[in-house]
Copies of this chain bind each other. A is one copy, B any other.
Amino acid sequence: MSHTEPVKVEVGLGDRAYDILIGPGLLSSAGTEIADRLPGTRAAIVTDENVAAAHLETLKAGLEKGGIQAAVITLRAGEKTKSFAHLEEVVDSVLAAKLERRDVVIALGGGVIGDLAGFAAGIVRRGMNFVQVPTSLLAQVDSSVGGKTGINSARGKNLVGVFNQPKLVLADTGVLDTLPIREFRAGYAELAKYGLIDRPGFFAWLEENWQKVFAGGQERTEAIADACRAKADVVARDEFETGDRALLNLGHTFGHALEAATNYDGARLVHGEGVAIGMALAHRFSARLNLASPDDAERVEAHLRAVGLPWRMADISGELPDAEALLGFITQDKKVSRGALTFILTRGVGQAFIAKDVPPSEVLSFLKACHPDGSR
Protein backbone atom coordinates (compact mmCIF):
# COMPACT_ATOMS: atom_id res chain seq x y z
CA MET A 1 0.00 0.00 0.00
CA SER A 2 1.55 3.31 -0.98
CA HIS A 3 1.17 6.18 1.43
CA THR A 4 3.69 8.96 1.63
CA GLU A 5 1.89 11.63 3.66
CA PRO A 6 1.92 10.97 7.41
CA VAL A 7 -1.36 10.79 9.30
CA LYS A 8 -1.90 13.82 11.54
CA VAL A 9 -3.63 13.63 14.92
CA GLU A 10 -4.34 16.97 16.56
CA VAL A 11 -4.24 17.10 20.35
CA GLY A 12 -6.69 19.86 21.27
CA LEU A 13 -5.33 21.55 24.36
CA GLY A 14 -5.98 25.22 23.57
CA ASP A 15 -2.74 27.18 23.65
CA ARG A 16 -0.89 23.93 24.33
CA ALA A 17 -2.35 22.13 21.31
CA TYR A 18 0.04 20.15 19.15
CA ASP A 19 0.21 17.68 16.28
CA ILE A 20 1.19 14.04 16.28
CA LEU A 21 2.49 12.94 12.89
CA ILE A 22 2.41 9.20 12.29
CA GLY A 23 3.94 7.31 9.39
CA PRO A 24 7.12 5.82 7.95
CA GLY A 25 10.19 7.95 7.26
CA LEU A 26 9.48 10.80 9.68
CA LEU A 27 13.02 10.81 11.12
CA SER A 28 14.23 11.95 7.72
CA SER A 29 11.76 14.83 7.50
CA ALA A 30 12.13 15.90 11.15
CA GLY A 31 14.08 19.03 10.24
CA THR A 32 11.44 20.55 8.00
CA GLU A 33 8.56 19.53 10.29
CA ILE A 34 10.25 21.14 13.29
CA ALA A 35 11.52 24.21 11.44
CA ASP A 36 8.00 24.83 10.09
CA ARG A 37 6.70 25.07 13.64
CA LEU A 38 9.73 26.52 15.43
CA PRO A 39 11.60 28.68 12.92
CA GLY A 40 15.20 29.46 13.81
CA THR A 41 15.38 26.91 16.59
CA ARG A 42 18.50 25.12 17.75
CA ALA A 43 18.22 21.68 19.34
CA ALA A 44 19.56 19.18 21.81
CA ILE A 45 18.77 15.53 21.16
CA VAL A 46 18.42 13.35 24.27
CA THR A 47 18.70 9.64 23.51
CA ASP A 48 20.10 6.36 24.83
CA GLU A 49 22.98 4.25 23.56
CA ASN A 50 20.82 1.62 21.90
CA VAL A 51 18.56 4.04 20.07
CA ALA A 52 21.51 6.23 19.12
CA ALA A 53 23.21 3.28 17.43
CA ALA A 54 20.11 2.56 15.35
CA HIS A 55 18.60 5.98 14.58
CA LEU A 56 20.71 8.97 15.65
CA GLU A 57 22.45 9.55 12.34
CA THR A 58 19.15 9.37 10.45
CA LEU A 59 17.60 11.96 12.75
CA LYS A 60 20.63 14.27 12.62
CA ALA A 61 20.63 14.13 8.83
CA GLY A 62 16.88 14.81 8.87
CA LEU A 63 17.36 17.82 11.13
CA GLU A 64 20.13 19.22 8.94
CA LYS A 65 17.76 19.17 5.98
CA GLY A 66 15.73 21.72 7.94
CA GLY A 67 18.86 23.69 8.87
CA ILE A 68 18.77 22.57 12.51
CA GLN A 69 22.04 21.93 14.33
CA ALA A 70 21.77 19.66 17.34
CA ALA A 71 23.84 18.89 20.40
CA VAL A 72 23.51 15.24 21.44
CA ILE A 73 23.11 13.88 24.98
CA THR A 74 23.42 10.09 25.05
CA LEU A 75 22.46 8.20 28.21
CA ARG A 76 22.64 4.58 29.22
CA ALA A 77 19.53 2.59 28.25
CA GLY A 78 17.14 1.43 30.94
CA GLU A 79 14.68 2.48 33.61
CA LYS A 80 17.49 3.44 36.03
CA THR A 81 18.11 6.47 33.84
CA LYS A 82 14.89 8.03 35.17
CA SER A 83 16.66 9.39 38.26
CA PHE A 84 17.46 12.75 39.84
CA ALA A 85 21.14 12.25 38.96
CA HIS A 86 20.42 11.80 35.26
CA LEU A 87 17.88 14.62 35.29
CA GLU A 88 20.58 16.94 36.60
CA GLU A 89 22.98 15.62 33.95
CA VAL A 90 20.54 16.34 31.12
CA VAL A 91 19.64 19.78 32.50
CA ASP A 92 23.31 20.67 32.79
CA SER A 93 24.07 19.44 29.27
CA VAL A 94 21.22 21.46 27.78
CA LEU A 95 22.46 24.57 29.60
CA ALA A 96 26.03 23.80 28.50
CA ALA A 97 24.80 23.78 24.90
CA LYS A 98 23.65 27.39 25.58
CA LEU A 99 20.12 26.68 24.43
CA GLU A 100 17.45 29.27 25.13
CA ARG A 101 13.77 28.95 26.01
CA ARG A 102 12.70 29.08 22.37
CA ASP A 103 15.14 26.31 21.42
CA VAL A 104 14.07 22.69 21.51
CA VAL A 105 14.88 19.51 23.40
CA ILE A 106 14.20 16.47 21.20
CA ALA A 107 13.55 13.14 22.93
CA LEU A 108 14.69 10.30 20.65
CA GLY A 109 13.83 7.00 22.30
CA GLY A 110 11.26 5.08 24.25
CA GLY A 111 9.26 6.03 27.31
CA VAL A 112 12.26 6.38 29.60
CA ILE A 113 13.97 8.92 27.34
CA GLY A 114 10.69 10.73 26.64
CA ASP A 115 9.83 11.02 30.32
CA LEU A 116 13.30 12.18 31.33
CA ALA A 117 13.91 14.57 28.42
CA GLY A 118 10.40 15.99 28.69
CA PHE A 119 10.91 16.68 32.38
CA ALA A 120 14.28 18.32 31.70
CA ALA A 121 12.76 20.46 28.94
CA GLY A 122 9.99 21.45 31.34
CA ILE A 123 12.38 22.81 33.95
CA VAL A 124 15.35 24.26 32.06
CA ARG A 125 14.75 28.04 32.13
CA ARG A 126 11.28 27.15 33.48
CA GLY A 127 10.28 25.48 30.25
CA MET A 128 11.85 25.09 26.81
CA ASN A 129 10.30 23.75 23.65
CA PHE A 130 10.07 20.00 23.49
CA VAL A 131 9.58 17.54 20.63
CA GLN A 132 9.01 13.80 21.04
CA VAL A 133 10.42 11.30 18.57
CA PRO A 134 9.21 8.04 20.14
CA THR A 135 10.98 4.94 18.84
CA SER A 136 8.99 2.20 20.61
CA LEU A 137 5.39 1.24 20.00
CA LEU A 138 4.66 1.81 23.67
CA ALA A 139 5.99 5.35 23.50
CA GLN A 140 4.20 6.09 20.23
CA VAL A 141 0.77 5.15 21.54
CA ASP A 142 1.15 6.09 25.17
CA SER A 143 3.93 8.10 26.72
CA SER A 144 4.26 10.56 23.83
CA VAL A 145 0.63 11.68 24.17
CA GLY A 146 -0.61 13.64 27.14
CA GLY A 147 2.35 15.52 28.52
CA LYS A 148 3.20 13.39 31.52
CA THR A 149 6.92 13.51 32.15
CA GLY A 150 8.99 12.48 35.13
CA ILE A 151 11.48 10.35 36.95
CA ASN A 152 11.33 7.65 39.58
CA SER A 153 11.96 8.13 43.27
CA ALA A 154 13.22 5.61 45.78
CA ARG A 155 9.61 5.73 47.00
CA GLY A 156 8.03 4.74 43.70
CA LYS A 157 7.89 5.13 39.95
CA ASN A 158 6.98 8.40 38.25
CA LEU A 159 6.45 10.18 41.55
CA VAL A 160 8.37 13.28 40.44
CA GLY A 161 7.72 15.22 37.24
CA VAL A 162 5.70 17.84 35.42
CA PHE A 163 2.92 18.04 32.89
CA ASN A 164 4.71 19.30 29.80
CA GLN A 165 3.05 19.13 26.41
CA PRO A 166 5.39 18.73 23.44
CA LYS A 167 5.23 21.11 20.47
CA LEU A 168 5.19 18.15 18.10
CA VAL A 169 5.36 14.36 18.15
CA LEU A 170 6.96 12.51 15.25
CA ALA A 171 5.97 8.84 15.42
CA ASP A 172 8.04 7.16 12.72
CA THR A 173 6.34 3.82 12.22
CA GLY A 174 9.29 2.54 10.22
CA VAL A 175 11.61 2.49 13.22
CA LEU A 176 9.31 -0.05 14.89
CA ASP A 177 10.66 -2.72 12.52
CA THR A 178 13.92 -2.59 14.48
CA LEU A 179 12.18 -3.46 17.78
CA PRO A 180 12.52 -6.92 19.32
CA ILE A 181 9.18 -8.71 18.92
CA ARG A 182 8.72 -8.95 22.68
CA GLU A 183 8.97 -5.17 23.00
CA PHE A 184 6.57 -4.63 20.08
CA ARG A 185 4.07 -6.95 21.76
CA ALA A 186 4.38 -5.12 25.06
CA GLY A 187 3.55 -1.86 23.30
CA TYR A 188 0.62 -3.56 21.61
CA ALA A 189 -0.92 -4.15 25.04
CA GLU A 190 -1.20 -0.37 25.55
CA LEU A 191 -2.61 -0.02 22.05
CA ALA A 192 -5.33 -2.58 22.72
CA LYS A 193 -6.06 -0.79 26.00
CA TYR A 194 -7.78 2.07 24.12
CA GLY A 195 -10.25 -0.39 22.67
CA LEU A 196 -10.96 -1.83 26.08
CA ILE A 197 -11.48 1.59 27.71
CA ASP A 198 -14.18 3.04 25.46
CA ARG A 199 -13.73 1.94 21.83
CA PRO A 200 -15.22 -1.54 21.44
CA GLY A 201 -15.15 -1.16 17.65
CA PHE A 202 -11.40 -0.58 17.75
CA PHE A 203 -10.90 -3.67 19.90
CA ALA A 204 -12.96 -5.76 17.48
CA TRP A 205 -10.92 -4.37 14.57
CA LEU A 206 -7.71 -5.35 16.38
CA GLU A 207 -9.05 -8.87 16.94
CA GLU A 208 -9.39 -9.13 13.14
CA ASN A 209 -6.35 -7.19 12.02
CA TRP A 210 -3.64 -7.51 14.66
CA GLN A 211 -1.37 -9.53 12.37
CA LYS A 212 -1.31 -6.63 9.89
CA VAL A 213 -0.44 -4.20 12.70
CA PHE A 214 2.48 -6.42 13.62
CA ALA A 215 3.52 -6.75 9.96
CA GLY A 216 3.65 -2.99 9.37
CA GLY A 217 2.12 -0.95 6.58
CA GLN A 218 -0.96 1.22 6.60
CA GLU A 219 -2.82 -0.83 9.23
CA ARG A 220 -0.01 -0.20 11.71
CA THR A 221 -0.14 3.53 11.02
CA GLU A 222 -3.94 3.59 11.35
CA ALA A 223 -3.92 1.60 14.59
CA ILE A 224 -1.35 3.93 16.15
CA ALA A 225 -3.31 6.95 14.95
CA ASP A 226 -6.53 5.55 16.44
CA ALA A 227 -4.82 4.93 19.78
CA CYS A 228 -3.35 8.43 19.78
CA ARG A 229 -6.76 9.91 18.96
CA ALA A 230 -8.31 7.93 21.79
CA LYS A 231 -5.71 9.10 24.28
CA ALA A 232 -5.83 12.67 22.99
CA ASP A 233 -9.61 12.70 23.55
CA VAL A 234 -9.21 11.67 27.17
CA VAL A 235 -6.33 14.09 27.78
CA ALA A 236 -8.20 17.00 26.21
CA ARG A 237 -11.07 16.34 28.63
CA ASP A 238 -8.82 16.09 31.69
CA GLU A 239 -5.28 17.33 31.10
CA PHE A 240 -4.21 17.27 34.73
CA GLU A 241 -5.79 13.97 35.77
CA THR A 242 -8.43 15.20 38.14
CA GLY A 243 -11.09 12.90 36.68
CA ASP A 244 -11.57 10.85 33.52
CA ARG A 245 -7.88 10.66 32.68
CA ALA A 246 -7.58 7.98 35.34
CA LEU A 247 -9.30 5.64 32.84
CA LEU A 248 -5.94 5.43 31.08
CA ASN A 249 -4.77 3.47 34.10
CA LEU A 250 -6.85 0.46 33.05
CA GLY A 251 -4.66 -2.54 33.83
CA HIS A 252 -2.07 -0.40 35.56
CA THR A 253 -2.95 -0.94 39.21
CA PHE A 254 -2.51 -4.70 38.98
CA GLY A 255 0.27 -4.20 36.43
CA HIS A 256 2.33 -1.85 38.59
CA ALA A 257 1.97 -4.22 41.54
CA LEU A 258 3.30 -7.09 39.42
CA GLU A 259 6.17 -4.97 38.15
CA ALA A 260 7.07 -4.08 41.74
CA ALA A 261 6.63 -7.72 42.82
CA THR A 262 9.18 -8.76 40.18
CA ASN A 263 11.58 -5.97 41.21
CA TYR A 264 11.14 -4.29 37.83
CA ASP A 265 13.22 -7.08 36.36
CA GLY A 266 12.61 -6.72 32.62
CA ALA A 267 13.76 -10.29 32.03
CA ARG A 268 10.66 -11.40 33.93
CA LEU A 269 8.13 -8.68 33.11
CA VAL A 270 8.24 -5.44 31.14
CA HIS A 271 5.72 -2.64 31.66
CA GLY A 272 3.46 -3.47 28.73
CA GLU A 273 3.33 -7.12 29.78
CA GLY A 274 2.34 -6.04 33.27
CA VAL A 275 -0.41 -3.94 31.71
CA ALA A 276 -1.56 -6.92 29.61
CA ILE A 277 -1.91 -9.14 32.68
CA GLY A 278 -3.40 -6.19 34.59
CA MET A 279 -6.07 -5.63 31.94
CA ALA A 280 -7.00 -9.29 31.94
CA LEU A 281 -7.17 -9.22 35.76
CA ALA A 282 -9.27 -6.02 35.74
CA HIS A 283 -11.81 -7.73 33.47
CA ARG A 284 -11.76 -10.93 35.47
CA PHE A 285 -12.11 -8.98 38.75
CA SER A 286 -15.04 -7.00 37.29
CA ALA A 287 -16.72 -10.29 36.36
CA ARG A 288 -16.13 -11.61 39.88
CA LEU A 289 -17.79 -8.46 41.27
CA ASN A 290 -20.75 -9.12 38.92
CA LEU A 291 -20.07 -5.90 37.07
CA ALA A 292 -19.29 -7.55 33.74
CA SER A 293 -19.87 -10.84 32.00
CA PRO A 294 -17.20 -13.55 32.32
CA ASP A 295 -17.47 -13.80 28.52
CA ASP A 296 -15.82 -10.38 28.21
CA ALA A 297 -12.97 -11.43 30.47
CA GLU A 298 -12.52 -14.57 28.38
CA ARG A 299 -12.54 -12.52 25.17
CA VAL A 300 -9.79 -10.19 26.47
CA GLU A 301 -7.71 -13.10 27.69
CA ALA A 302 -8.10 -14.87 24.35
CA HIS A 303 -6.89 -11.88 22.37
CA LEU A 304 -3.85 -11.29 24.56
CA ARG A 305 -3.04 -14.99 24.30
CA ALA A 306 -3.46 -14.88 20.51
CA VAL A 307 -0.91 -12.10 20.04
CA GLY A 308 1.53 -13.86 22.36
CA LEU A 309 1.20 -11.61 25.41
CA PRO A 310 1.12 -12.91 28.98
CA TRP A 311 -2.39 -12.63 30.40
CA ARG A 312 -2.29 -14.28 33.85
CA MET A 313 0.07 -14.26 36.81
CA ALA A 314 1.12 -17.82 36.01
CA ASP A 315 2.71 -16.50 32.78
CA ILE A 316 5.38 -14.71 34.83
CA SER A 317 8.52 -16.80 35.25
CA GLY A 318 9.79 -17.43 38.79
CA GLU A 319 7.99 -17.14 42.11
CA LEU A 320 5.64 -14.31 42.98
CA PRO A 321 5.02 -12.87 46.47
CA ASP A 322 1.78 -14.08 48.04
CA ALA A 323 -1.57 -12.31 47.68
CA GLU A 324 -1.14 -10.23 50.86
CA ALA A 325 2.18 -8.91 49.60
CA LEU A 326 0.67 -8.09 46.19
CA LEU A 327 -2.11 -6.16 47.91
CA GLY A 328 0.61 -4.28 49.79
CA PHE A 329 2.14 -3.18 46.47
CA ILE A 330 -1.29 -2.01 45.32
CA THR A 331 -1.96 0.09 48.42
CA GLN A 332 1.48 1.71 48.03
CA ASP A 333 0.59 2.71 44.47
CA LYS A 334 0.21 6.43 43.88
CA LYS A 335 -3.34 6.03 42.67
CA VAL A 336 -4.47 5.27 46.21
CA SER A 337 -6.39 8.29 47.46
CA ARG A 338 -7.14 8.95 51.14
CA GLY A 339 -6.63 5.26 51.97
CA ALA A 340 -9.49 4.05 49.74
CA LEU A 341 -8.66 1.77 46.81
CA THR A 342 -9.37 3.18 43.37
CA PHE A 343 -9.48 0.74 40.45
CA ILE A 344 -10.37 1.01 36.82
CA LEU A 345 -13.05 -1.63 36.42
CA THR A 346 -15.34 -2.42 33.49
CA ARG A 347 -18.88 -3.33 32.54
CA GLY A 348 -17.55 -5.10 29.45
CA VAL A 349 -15.23 -4.53 26.47
CA GLY A 350 -15.09 -0.77 25.82
CA GLN A 351 -16.97 0.12 29.02
CA ALA A 352 -14.29 0.88 31.59
CA PHE A 353 -15.07 3.16 34.53
CA ILE A 354 -13.39 4.57 37.63
CA ALA A 355 -14.36 2.63 40.76
CA LYS A 356 -13.52 4.34 44.03
CA ASP A 357 -13.77 2.63 47.41
CA VAL A 358 -13.11 -0.88 46.20
CA PRO A 359 -12.88 -2.95 49.43
CA PRO A 360 -9.33 -4.21 49.97
CA SER A 361 -10.79 -7.49 51.23
CA GLU A 362 -12.36 -8.14 47.79
CA VAL A 363 -9.06 -7.44 46.08
CA LEU A 364 -7.28 -9.80 48.45
CA SER A 365 -9.65 -12.70 47.95
CA PHE A 366 -9.49 -12.17 44.17
CA LEU A 367 -5.69 -12.18 44.24
CA LYS A 368 -5.73 -15.36 46.30
CA ALA A 369 -8.12 -16.98 43.83
CA CYS A 370 -6.01 -16.26 40.78
CA HIS A 371 -2.57 -16.58 42.36
CA PRO A 372 -0.55 -19.38 40.71
CA ASP A 373 0.34 -20.72 44.19
CA GLY A 374 -3.24 -20.33 45.36
CA SER A 375 -3.79 -24.03 45.87
CA ARG A 376 -0.93 -24.40 48.30
- Residues of chain A whose beta carbon lies under 8 Å from any beta carbon of chain B: 84, 87-88, 91-92, 95-96, 100, 119, 122-127, 148, 150, 153-156, 159-163, 240-241, 334, 337-338
A126 near B162 with CB under 8 A, answer yes
B337 near A100 with CB under 8 A, answer yes
Q: Which of A100, A154, A160, A162 has the most CB of B within 10 A?
A: A160
Q: Which of A84, A96, A148, A338 has the most CB of B within 10 A?
A: A84
Q: How many Å lie between the Cα of A84 and that of B154 in the bound state?
A: 16
Q: A125-B159, A126-B148, A126-B163 are in contact. List 13 more A-B contacts (CB 8 A).
A: A84-B87, A84-B88, A84-B91, A91-B160, A95-B155, A100-B338, A122-B162, A123-B123, A123-B150, A124-B159, A126-B162, A127-B240, A162-B162
Q: How many Å lie between the Cα of A159 and that of B87 in the bound state?
A: 14
Q: How many Å lie between the Cα of A163 and that of B124 in the bound state?
A: 11
A189 vs chain B, min Cβ distance (A): 23
A145 vs chain B, min Cβ distance (A): 15
Choose from B119, B126, B155, B241 the contact partner of A161 (Cβ within 8 Å): B126
Main secondary structure of the interface of A (DSSP, over half): mixed
Copies of this polypeptide in the complex? 2
B162 near A123 with CB under 8 A, answer yes
Choose from B123, B160, B241, B338 the contact partner of A160 (Cβ within 8 Å): B123
User: Which residues of B sit under 8 angstroms from A127, Cβ to Cβ?
Assistant: 162-163, 240
Which single residue of chain B is at the shortest CB-CB distance from A123?
B160
User: With A84-B84, A100-B338, A337-B100 in contact, is A123–B161 under 8 Å at CB?
Assistant: yes
Which single residue of chain B is at the shortest CB-CB distance from A84?
B88
Q: How many Å lie between the Cα of A337 and that of B126 in the bound state?
A: 15
Question: Can you report 15 residue pairs joining A to B where beta carbons are below 8 Å apart?
Answer: A91-B160, A92-B154, A95-B153, A96-B155, A119-B123, A122-B162, A123-B150, A123-B160, A124-B159, A124-B160, A125-B334, A126-B161, A127-B162, A127-B163, A127-B240
A91 near B122 with CB under 8 A, answer no
User: Which residues of B sit under 8 angstroms from A96, Cβ to Cβ?
Assistant: 155
Choose from B95, B150, B155, B161 the contact partner of A92 (Cβ within 8 Å): B155
